[in-house]
């Protein structure tokens, strides 16, 4: 693992703890580098929300189909690991699959801008971080059926995964 990737993982651990996530020990089973979970009651989502972050480093050449497969697998893994009320009946699940790559391809950047999976009482919001530029790529629009939540998904994705966001938050915290 490169020094840059190690440094990113170290910072990611800290920021996800800041946002009340705990690391889960399902990595080997899931075929992923890191998995985090946060559960809390959110009035805006009408109940308990289980939020999962699934992170995998795929250095170069990842395709849209590989991203889609990873995202679907992480959604399935999260759904298998959650407990509590059935989705839609006082419970919701949000899964943030994150791919870290050294150089995002034009094909993958275009794919992620158009990939928007749909689920009942659950969300799958994948993103890609280009480790060289620290640019973060994800679905930029709001589908009609997701108008109540997609702004939050984009905001959380940026805050959870972008070193640029971490720098902004750090500056605000140091001013207090």
- Helices 163-175 and 3-18 cross at an angle (nearest 10°) of 50
**Per-residue pLDDT at 27:** 61
Q: Report the interhelical angle of 150-161 vs 3-18 (nearest 10°).
A: 130
Range from 13-17, 29-33, 35-39 carrying the lowest mean pLDDT: 29-33
Closest alpha carbon to 65 in 105, 108, 104 = 108
Q: What is the pLDDT of residues 88-115, one digit of tens each?
A: 788 889 999 999 999 899 999 999 999 9
Residue with tokens 């919001």: 125
What value does the mean pLDDT take over residues 43-51? 78
- Residue 90: the pLDDT is 82
Can you give the pLDDT at residue 6? 92
Q: Which pLDDT tens digit goes with each residue over 126-147? A: 999 999 899 999 988 876 766 7
Could you tell me if 85 and 48 are in contact, meaning their C-beta atoms sit under 8 angstroms apart? yes
Whole-angstrom distance, CA of residue 98 vs CA of residue 156: 12
Q: What is the CA radius of gyration of the chain?
A: 16
């Amino acid at each position: 693992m490169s020094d840059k990737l190690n440094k990113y993982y170290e910072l990611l651990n800290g920021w996800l703890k800041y946002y009340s996530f705990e690391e889960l020990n399902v990595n080997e089973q899931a075929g992923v580098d890191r998995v985090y979970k946060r559960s809390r009651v959110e009035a805006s989502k009408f109940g308990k929300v289980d939020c999962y972050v699934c992170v995998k480093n795929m250095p170069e050449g990842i395709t849209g189909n590989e991203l889609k497969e990873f995202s679907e697998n992480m959604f399935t893994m999260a759904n298998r690991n959650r407990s509590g009320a059935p989705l839609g009946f006082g419970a919701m699940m949000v899964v943030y699959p994150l791919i870290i790559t050294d150089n995002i391809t034009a094909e993958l950047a275009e794919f992620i801008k158009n990939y928007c999976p749909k689920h009942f009482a659950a969300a799958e919001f994948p993103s890609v971080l280009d480790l060289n530029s620290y640019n973060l790529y994800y679905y930029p629009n709001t589908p009609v059926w997701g108008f109540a939540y997609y702004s939050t998904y984009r905001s959380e994705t940026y805050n959870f995964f972008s070193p640029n966001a971490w720098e902004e938050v750090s500056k605000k915290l140091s001013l207090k």
